[in-house]
Amino acid sequence: GDWSAAVGAIRRFLPSGRVLLVCHVNPDGDALGSMLAVGLGLCRLGAAQVQATFPGEFEVPEPLAGMPGLDLLVPQERACADPDLMVAFDAAAASRLGALADRLERAEATVALDHHASNTRFAQVNLVDDGAAATAMVAGDLLDRLGVEVDQAIAECLYVALATDTGSFKFEMTTPRVHEMAARLIATGIRPGDISRRVFDTRPFGAMKLFGEVLGRAALDPAAAAGHGMVWTYVTLDDLGRHGQRPHVMDALIDPVRTVAEADVSVLVKQSGDGEWAVSLRSKGAVDVSRVAVALGGGGHRLAAGFTGHGTPTDVVLAVREQLDHHVL
Ligand code: 5GP
Ligand code: MN
Ligand code: MN
Protein backbone atom coordinates (compact mmCIF):
# COMPACT_ATOMS: atom_id res chain seq x y z
CA GLY A 1 0.00 0.00 0.00
CA ASP A 2 0.93 3.65 0.40
CA TRP A 3 3.12 3.03 3.45
CA SER A 4 5.38 0.49 1.74
CA ALA A 5 5.53 2.72 -1.36
CA ALA A 6 6.62 5.65 0.84
CA VAL A 7 9.19 3.60 2.75
CA GLY A 8 10.47 2.14 -0.54
CA ALA A 9 10.80 5.56 -2.17
CA ILE A 10 12.75 6.89 0.81
CA ARG A 11 15.05 3.85 1.22
CA ARG A 12 15.81 3.97 -2.50
CA PHE A 13 17.57 7.31 -2.12
CA LEU A 14 19.50 6.62 1.09
CA PRO A 15 22.22 7.41 1.88
CA SER A 16 23.43 9.55 -1.02
CA GLY A 17 20.34 10.83 -2.89
CA ARG A 18 19.38 14.50 -2.92
CA VAL A 19 16.43 14.80 -0.54
CA LEU A 20 14.30 17.95 -0.41
CA LEU A 21 11.71 18.38 2.35
CA VAL A 22 9.14 21.15 1.93
CA CYS A 23 6.22 22.44 3.99
CA HIS A 24 3.48 25.01 3.47
CA VAL A 25 3.96 28.78 3.21
CA ASN A 26 3.95 30.63 6.56
CA PRO A 27 4.88 27.43 8.36
CA ASP A 28 3.25 26.68 11.70
CA GLY A 29 4.41 24.29 14.40
CA ASP A 30 2.94 21.24 12.65
CA ALA A 31 4.42 22.06 9.24
CA LEU A 32 7.92 22.79 10.58
CA GLY A 33 7.83 20.19 13.36
CA SER A 34 6.78 17.25 11.22
CA MET A 35 9.22 18.27 8.47
CA LEU A 36 12.20 18.66 10.81
CA ALA A 37 11.35 15.44 12.68
CA VAL A 38 11.48 13.46 9.44
CA GLY A 39 14.58 15.41 8.36
CA LEU A 40 16.40 14.48 11.56
CA GLY A 41 15.16 10.88 11.19
CA LEU A 42 16.57 10.60 7.67
CA CYS A 43 19.90 11.96 8.92
CA ARG A 44 19.91 9.26 11.63
CA LEU A 45 19.45 6.71 8.82
CA GLY A 46 22.56 8.06 7.12
CA ALA A 47 21.07 10.45 4.56
CA ALA A 48 23.90 12.75 3.53
CA GLN A 49 22.07 15.38 1.48
CA VAL A 50 18.92 16.53 3.26
CA GLN A 51 17.54 20.03 2.82
CA ALA A 52 14.35 21.41 4.37
CA THR A 53 12.63 24.55 3.10
CA PHE A 54 9.34 26.42 2.63
CA PRO A 55 8.09 29.02 0.15
CA GLY A 56 7.77 32.75 0.70
CA GLU A 57 9.71 34.89 3.10
CA PHE A 58 12.45 32.90 4.85
CA GLU A 59 11.53 33.60 8.44
CA VAL A 60 11.01 31.15 11.26
CA PRO A 61 8.45 32.56 13.75
CA GLU A 62 10.22 33.53 16.97
CA PRO A 63 8.30 30.98 19.11
CA LEU A 64 9.63 28.16 16.86
CA ALA A 65 13.20 29.47 16.67
CA GLY A 66 14.36 27.10 19.43
CA MET A 67 13.25 23.96 17.63
CA PRO A 68 15.79 21.17 17.00
CA GLY A 69 16.76 20.47 13.39
CA LEU A 70 16.61 24.08 12.23
CA ASP A 71 20.10 23.71 10.73
CA LEU A 72 18.51 21.57 8.00
CA LEU A 73 16.63 24.68 6.78
CA VAL A 74 17.72 26.56 3.66
CA PRO A 75 15.97 29.50 1.97
CA GLN A 76 13.98 28.41 -1.08
CA GLU A 77 16.51 30.12 -3.37
CA ARG A 78 19.14 27.64 -2.17
CA ALA A 79 16.88 24.57 -2.34
CA CYS A 80 17.93 21.82 -4.75
CA ALA A 81 16.18 22.41 -8.11
CA ASP A 82 16.04 18.75 -9.15
CA PRO A 83 15.96 16.54 -6.06
CA ASP A 84 15.86 12.76 -6.29
CA LEU A 85 13.26 12.62 -3.54
CA MET A 86 10.86 15.36 -2.49
CA VAL A 87 8.68 15.04 0.63
CA ALA A 88 5.91 17.56 1.37
CA PHE A 89 4.44 18.22 4.84
CA ASP A 90 1.08 19.62 6.01
CA ALA A 91 0.19 20.99 2.55
CA ALA A 92 -3.35 20.27 1.28
CA ALA A 93 -2.51 21.30 -2.29
CA ALA A 94 0.55 21.94 -4.46
CA SER A 95 -0.32 25.66 -4.42
CA ARG A 96 0.55 25.72 -0.69
CA LEU A 97 4.17 25.00 -1.72
CA GLY A 98 4.39 28.22 -3.78
CA ALA A 99 7.30 28.30 -6.24
CA LEU A 100 8.69 25.04 -4.79
CA ALA A 101 5.81 23.14 -6.42
CA ASP A 102 7.86 23.05 -9.67
CA ARG A 103 10.03 20.32 -8.07
CA LEU A 104 7.02 17.99 -7.99
CA GLU A 105 7.52 17.52 -11.74
CA ARG A 106 11.31 17.30 -11.61
CA ALA A 107 11.87 15.03 -8.61
CA GLU A 108 12.16 11.34 -9.34
CA ALA A 109 10.02 10.37 -6.35
CA THR A 110 7.50 12.52 -4.45
CA VAL A 111 5.78 11.73 -1.16
CA ALA A 112 3.27 13.91 0.73
CA LEU A 113 2.34 13.67 4.42
CA ASP A 114 -0.84 15.51 5.38
CA HIS A 115 -4.10 15.51 7.38
CA HIS A 116 -6.39 17.91 5.48
CA ALA A 117 -9.72 16.51 4.24
CA SER A 118 -9.35 18.78 1.20
CA ASN A 119 -5.95 17.22 0.22
CA THR A 120 -5.65 16.97 -3.57
CA ARG A 121 -3.22 13.97 -3.72
CA PHE A 122 -0.63 15.98 -5.63
CA ALA A 123 2.33 13.65 -4.95
CA GLN A 124 3.12 10.18 -6.31
CA VAL A 125 2.64 8.69 -2.86
CA ASN A 126 0.12 10.40 -0.57
CA LEU A 127 0.09 9.59 3.14
CA VAL A 128 -3.07 11.53 4.02
CA ASP A 129 -5.06 10.82 7.18
CA ASP A 130 -7.88 13.31 7.62
CA GLY A 131 -8.66 11.73 10.97
CA ALA A 132 -5.22 12.68 12.28
CA ALA A 133 -4.98 15.71 14.56
CA ALA A 134 -1.69 16.76 12.99
CA THR A 135 0.67 15.83 10.17
CA ALA A 136 2.97 14.89 13.06
CA MET A 137 0.86 11.75 13.66
CA VAL A 138 1.57 10.63 10.09
CA ALA A 139 5.25 11.63 10.44
CA GLY A 140 5.54 9.59 13.65
CA ASP A 141 4.12 6.51 11.92
CA LEU A 142 6.48 6.95 8.99
CA LEU A 143 9.51 7.22 11.30
CA ASP A 144 8.41 3.99 13.04
CA ARG A 145 8.09 2.20 9.71
CA LEU A 146 11.53 3.47 8.66
CA GLY A 147 12.95 2.03 11.89
CA VAL A 148 14.09 5.39 13.23
CA GLU A 149 14.54 5.55 16.98
CA VAL A 150 12.77 8.68 18.23
CA ASP A 151 15.36 10.59 20.26
CA GLN A 152 14.80 13.81 22.22
CA ALA A 153 15.40 16.12 19.25
CA ILE A 154 12.91 14.29 17.05
CA ALA A 155 10.48 14.01 19.96
CA GLU A 156 10.58 17.76 20.58
CA CYS A 157 9.78 18.49 16.92
CA LEU A 158 6.84 16.07 16.95
CA TYR A 159 5.61 17.37 20.31
CA VAL A 160 5.58 21.00 19.13
CA ALA A 161 3.70 19.89 16.00
CA LEU A 162 1.14 17.86 17.93
CA ALA A 163 0.61 20.52 20.60
CA THR A 164 0.22 23.23 17.94
CA ASP A 165 -2.49 21.54 15.90
CA THR A 166 -4.45 20.24 18.91
CA GLY A 167 -4.42 23.65 20.64
CA SER A 168 -2.33 22.04 23.41
CA PHE A 169 -4.49 18.89 23.46
CA LYS A 170 -7.80 20.77 23.66
CA PHE A 171 -9.41 20.35 20.23
CA GLU A 172 -11.87 17.63 19.21
CA MET A 173 -9.25 15.63 17.24
CA THR A 174 -7.42 14.93 20.54
CA THR A 175 -7.89 11.14 20.43
CA PRO A 176 -6.42 8.41 22.62
CA ARG A 177 -3.78 7.92 19.89
CA VAL A 178 -2.75 11.58 20.25
CA HIS A 179 -2.17 11.13 23.97
CA GLU A 180 -0.36 7.82 23.36
CA MET A 181 1.97 9.57 20.94
CA ALA A 182 2.47 12.46 23.40
CA ALA A 183 3.26 9.95 26.16
CA ARG A 184 5.91 8.28 23.99
CA LEU A 185 7.46 11.64 23.17
CA ILE A 186 7.51 12.84 26.78
CA ALA A 187 9.07 9.52 27.82
CA THR A 188 12.21 10.45 25.85
CA GLY A 189 12.85 13.14 28.48
CA ILE A 190 11.62 16.29 26.70
CA ARG A 191 10.12 18.95 28.98
CA PRO A 192 6.52 19.82 28.02
CA GLY A 193 6.31 22.73 30.46
CA ASP A 194 9.41 24.44 29.04
CA ILE A 195 8.36 23.75 25.45
CA SER A 196 4.82 25.05 25.96
CA ARG A 197 5.97 28.21 27.71
CA ARG A 198 8.51 28.93 24.97
CA VAL A 199 6.27 28.11 22.00
CA PHE A 200 2.80 29.23 23.16
CA ASP A 201 3.08 31.44 26.24
CA THR A 202 5.93 33.86 25.53
CA ARG A 203 5.64 37.07 23.54
CA PRO A 204 6.99 40.61 23.70
CA PHE A 205 5.27 43.42 25.64
CA GLY A 206 4.48 45.13 22.31
CA ALA A 207 2.48 42.08 21.24
CA MET A 208 0.22 42.45 24.29
CA LYS A 209 -0.36 46.13 23.46
CA LEU A 210 -1.15 45.15 19.86
CA PHE A 211 -3.59 42.49 21.08
CA GLY A 212 -5.33 45.11 23.24
CA GLU A 213 -5.88 47.34 20.25
CA VAL A 214 -7.02 44.58 17.87
CA LEU A 215 -9.34 42.92 20.42
CA GLY A 216 -10.72 46.36 21.33
CA ARG A 217 -12.15 46.78 17.83
CA ALA A 218 -13.71 43.33 17.55
CA ALA A 219 -17.35 43.32 16.41
CA LEU A 220 -20.12 40.85 17.28
CA ASP A 221 -22.76 39.91 14.70
CA PRO A 222 -25.29 37.68 16.51
CA ALA A 223 -27.52 37.19 13.42
CA ALA A 224 -24.72 35.76 11.22
CA ALA A 225 -24.52 32.02 10.43
CA ALA A 226 -28.31 31.59 10.75
CA GLY A 227 -28.24 33.02 14.26
CA HIS A 228 -25.24 31.07 15.55
CA GLY A 229 -23.29 34.33 15.61
CA MET A 230 -19.97 35.61 14.30
CA VAL A 231 -17.26 37.67 15.96
CA TRP A 232 -14.53 39.31 13.90
CA THR A 233 -11.65 41.73 13.97
CA TYR A 234 -8.72 42.74 11.78
CA VAL A 235 -5.05 43.62 12.11
CA THR A 236 -3.02 45.68 9.66
CA LEU A 237 0.68 45.83 8.80
CA ASP A 238 0.62 49.39 10.15
CA ASP A 239 -0.66 48.05 13.53
CA LEU A 240 2.27 45.62 13.56
CA GLY A 241 4.74 48.35 12.69
CA ARG A 242 3.51 50.72 15.41
CA HIS A 243 4.03 48.02 18.02
CA GLY A 244 7.28 46.73 16.50
CA GLN A 245 5.90 43.22 15.92
CA ARG A 246 6.53 40.55 13.24
CA PRO A 247 3.67 39.10 11.15
CA HIS A 248 3.54 35.71 12.95
CA VAL A 249 2.35 37.54 16.10
CA MET A 250 -0.99 38.05 14.31
CA ASP A 251 -1.64 34.30 14.21
CA ALA A 252 -2.09 34.01 17.99
CA LEU A 253 -4.89 36.60 17.95
CA ILE A 254 -7.51 34.10 16.79
CA ASP A 255 -7.35 32.32 20.17
CA PRO A 256 -8.82 35.11 22.35
CA VAL A 257 -11.33 35.96 19.60
CA ARG A 258 -12.68 32.41 19.49
CA THR A 259 -13.49 32.42 23.21
CA VAL A 260 -16.53 34.70 22.66
CA ALA A 261 -19.62 32.87 23.96
CA GLU A 262 -22.11 34.70 21.74
CA ALA A 263 -20.51 33.56 18.47
CA ASP A 264 -20.05 30.13 16.92
CA VAL A 265 -17.81 31.50 14.18
CA SER A 266 -14.74 33.68 14.65
CA VAL A 267 -12.93 35.51 11.89
CA LEU A 268 -9.51 37.18 12.00
CA VAL A 269 -8.55 39.28 8.97
CA LYS A 270 -4.76 39.72 8.85
CA GLN A 271 -3.18 42.08 6.35
CA SER A 272 -0.56 40.37 4.17
CA GLY A 273 -0.11 43.05 1.48
CA ASP A 274 -1.75 46.02 -0.24
CA GLY A 275 -5.47 45.15 -0.17
CA GLU A 276 -4.57 41.51 0.55
CA TRP A 277 -5.57 39.66 3.71
CA ALA A 278 -4.86 36.22 5.20
CA VAL A 279 -8.14 35.20 6.81
CA SER A 280 -8.46 32.73 9.69
CA LEU A 281 -11.83 31.07 10.25
CA ARG A 282 -12.86 29.03 13.30
CA SER A 283 -16.14 27.34 14.26
CA LYS A 284 -17.31 25.62 17.43
CA GLY A 285 -19.34 23.13 15.41
CA ALA A 286 -22.31 24.89 13.84
CA VAL A 287 -20.58 25.73 10.55
CA ASP A 288 -18.19 23.82 8.25
CA VAL A 289 -15.64 26.61 7.78
CA SER A 290 -13.48 24.49 5.42
CA ARG A 291 -16.35 24.76 2.91
CA VAL A 292 -16.58 28.50 3.51
CA ALA A 293 -12.82 28.77 2.89
CA VAL A 294 -12.92 26.57 -0.22
CA ALA A 295 -15.77 28.71 -1.62
CA LEU A 296 -13.50 31.74 -1.16
CA GLY A 297 -10.41 30.11 -2.71
CA GLY A 298 -8.76 28.58 0.39
CA GLY A 299 -9.07 25.40 2.41
CA GLY A 300 -8.51 23.78 5.78
CA HIS A 301 -10.43 21.67 8.29
CA ARG A 302 -14.12 21.61 9.29
CA LEU A 303 -13.54 23.76 12.38
CA ALA A 304 -10.36 25.65 11.34
CA ALA A 305 -9.73 27.01 7.88
CA GLY A 306 -8.41 29.98 5.94
CA PHE A 307 -8.17 31.80 2.62
CA THR A 308 -6.70 34.93 1.02
CA GLY A 309 -9.15 37.85 0.83
CA HIS A 310 -9.09 41.13 -1.13
CA GLY A 311 -10.35 44.69 -0.62
CA THR A 312 -11.01 46.19 2.81
CA PRO A 313 -11.48 44.13 6.01
CA THR A 314 -15.21 44.92 5.76
CA ASP A 315 -15.32 43.60 2.16
CA VAL A 316 -13.59 40.41 3.29
CA VAL A 317 -15.85 39.79 6.28
CA LEU A 318 -19.01 40.46 4.24
CA ALA A 319 -17.88 37.79 1.77
CA VAL A 320 -17.44 35.39 4.70
CA ARG A 321 -20.79 36.33 6.23
CA GLU A 322 -22.53 35.67 2.91
CA GLN A 323 -21.03 32.15 2.74
CA LEU A 324 -21.75 31.21 6.37
CA ASP A 325 -25.48 30.62 5.91
CA HIS A 326 -24.75 28.13 3.09
CA HIS A 327 -22.51 25.98 5.28
CA VAL A 328 -24.40 25.71 8.57
CA LEU A 329 -24.24 22.05 9.61
P1 5GP B 1 -4.80 29.36 10.14
O2 5GP B 1 -6.06 30.13 10.33
O3 5GP B 1 -4.27 28.83 11.44
O4 5GP B 1 -3.77 30.07 9.33
O5 5GP B 1 -5.19 28.08 9.27
C6 5GP B 1 -6.17 27.18 9.68
C7 5GP B 1 -6.24 26.04 8.71
O8 5GP B 1 -6.64 26.51 7.43
C9 5GP B 1 -4.92 25.33 8.47
O10 5GP B 1 -5.20 23.95 8.46
C11 5GP B 1 -4.43 25.77 7.13
O12 5GP B 1 -3.81 24.71 6.48
C13 5GP B 1 -5.70 26.19 6.42
N14 5GP B 1 -5.47 27.40 5.63
C15 5GP B 1 -5.21 28.64 6.10
N16 5GP B 1 -5.06 29.52 5.10
C17 5GP B 1 -5.22 28.84 3.95
C18 5GP B 1 -5.18 29.20 2.55
O19 5GP B 1 -4.97 30.35 2.16
N20 5GP B 1 -5.37 28.18 1.66
C21 5GP B 1 -5.62 26.90 2.05
N22 5GP B 1 -5.79 25.97 1.11
N23 5GP B 1 -5.67 26.54 3.34
C24 5GP B 1 -5.48 27.48 4.29
MN1 MN C 1 -0.30 23.85 9.06
MN1 MN D 1 -1.41 20.54 10.38
What CATH number corresponds to the domain at position 165?
A: 3.90.1640.10
Contact 234, 277 (CB under 8 A): yes
Amino acid at 319: A
* Domain CATH code at residue 301: 3.10.310.30
Question: Which pairing describes strands 219-221 and 109-114: parallel, antiparallel, or unpaired?
Answer: unpaired
Look at residues 174, 134, 187, 194 and name the one whose alpha carbon lies nearest to residue 158. 134
- Whether residues 79 and 117 share a domain: the answer is yes
- 295 class by beta-carbon count within 10 Å (0-12 exposed, 13-18 middle, 19+ buried): middle
- Whether residues 120 and 137 share a domain: the answer is yes
pLDDT of residue 84: 98
- Whether residues 216 and 293 share a domain: the answer is yes
pLDDT of residue 236: 98
Best residue among 23, 96, 266 to mutate for probing ligand 1's pocket (most ligand atoms within 8 Å of CB) is 96
| Residues 289-302 pLDDT 10s | 999 999 999 999 99
Q: Of 200, 224, 243, which residue sits at a domain end?
A: 200
Q: Of 172, 200, 228, which residue sits at a domain end?
A: 200
Chain-centroid distance of CA 144 in Å reads: 22
- Whether residues 49 and 163 share a domain: the answer is yes
Q: Which atom of ligand 1 is nearest to the CA of 28?
A: 3
Tens-binned pLDDT, residue by residue, of the chain (329 aa): 899 999 999 999 999 999 999 999 999 999 999 999 999 999 999 999 999 999 999 999 999 999 999 999 999 999 999 999 999 999 999 999 999 999 999 999 999 999 999 899 999 999 999 999 999 999 999 999 999 999 999 999 999 999 999 999 999 999 999 999 999 999 999 999 999 999 999 999 999 999 999 999 999 999 999 999 999 999 999 999 999 999 999 999 999 999 999 999 999 999 999 999 999 999 999 999 999 999 999 999 999 999 999 999 999 999 999 999 999 99
- Whether residues 72 and 146 share a domain: the answer is yes
User: Which residue's alpha carbon is nearest to atom 1 within ligand 1?
Assistant: 280
Cβ < 6 Å from ligand 1: which residues?
Answer: 92-93, 96, 280, 298-301, 304-308
Q: Of 182, 200, 218, which residue sits at a domain end?
A: 200
Q: What is the widest separation between alpha-carbon atoms in the chain? A: 60
At residue 87, what are phi and psi to the nearest 5 degrees?
-125, 125
Q: How many CB atoms are closer than 10 A to CB 146?
A: 17
pLDDT of residue 1: 87
- Whether residues 255 and 316 share a domain: the answer is yes
Cα(97) to centroid(ligand 2), Å: 12
Contact 157, 69 (CB under 8 A): yes
**Based on the structure, what is the number of domains in the chain?**
2
Rounded Cα distance between 66 and 72, Å, is 13
Domain that holds residue 159: 2-200
- Whether residues 190 and 313 share a domain: the answer is no
pLDDT of residue 262: 98
